[in-house]
Structure 1
Amino acid sequence: MLALAFLTALAASTALDRTADPHQPARSRDPIALTVPEIRHLLAAVLTPPAMTTARLLHWSAWRRRHQATARRCHYRRRSADEPTG
């Protein structure tokens, strides 16, 4: 429980200030904020014997978060297209 609380606090402290517009993240090309699972994965990779270099690990994390941001944009775009108008 303590580890989960630590990861949650760490994720909250790294999150960017969000705008009041709920559709703003859908338009952004920036990677999503660090999540608890992402931080846990990064810490596990850093604390275990290196299977990959630190630069490769950070590159992979950035790629994954950009991919998740793209998936979020596509999801929001599809959801907004499915909503009835009027």
Structure 2
Amino acid sequence: MEETFEFGKDLFGLDQSQVRLYHAILRHTVLVMAALAICAVTAAAARRRTDTQAPPPTHPDQAPPTDPGMIPLTVAEIKRLFNAATATTRSLLHAAHWSAWRRRHQARARWFHQRARLATAYALLS
């Protein structure tokens, strides 16, 4: 529960309210939690369609895949894309390209991390 609250505070600005009246704090909290809920539901719905990761490594000496794929859309990534779609300064094409690059990079890092953990597990067994 604490991690979820911290995530909402950090990503959606739940702690950035400068109001003093109860009704104003309540409105701000409801809006932030509604935005978080919309992004979370969208991420859950898009998970299967946007997860194109390569299969995890099966042994520590396995060569990396040529295309690591992309991790599924996360709540933070959906927020970034929504902000880019509604902003007037940057282009949506730039934001989509940056999102794809970041997700591909995260998939590659995840694959190498899994391979390193396999190497550690194999070293402990021998």
Same fold (TM over 0.5): yes
Is 1:85 the counterpart of 2:115? The answer is no
User: How far apart are the structure 2 equivalents of 1:26 and 1:4?
Assistant: 30
Match of 2:95 in 1: 57
Residue 9 of structure 1 aligns to which amino acid in structure 2? V
- CA offset digits 1:5-62 (Å, max 9, x no partner): 1111000000117xxxxxx7535721000000000011111112232x2222111111
Match of 1:5 in 2: 37
TM-score (normalised: structure 1):
0.80
- For CA contacts below 8 A with separation 6 or more, give which structure has more relative contact order: 1
Spell out structure 1 runs of 4+ moving beyond 4 A.
Answer: none
Is 1:38 the counterpart of 2:77? The answer is yes
User: How far apart are the structure 2 equivalents of 1:77 and 1:8?
Assistant: 29
TM-score (normalised: structure 2):
0.56
- Aligned mate of 2:48, from 11, 16, 20: 16
Is 1:74 the counterpart of 2:104? The answer is no
Give the percent of matched residue pairs that are identical in Structure 1 and Structure 2. 41
Is 1:26 the counterpart of 2:81? The answer is no
What is the number of residues matched between the two proteins? 79
**Structure 1: gaps spanning 5 or more residues:** 18-23
Residue 85 of structure 1 aligns to which amino acid in structure 2? L
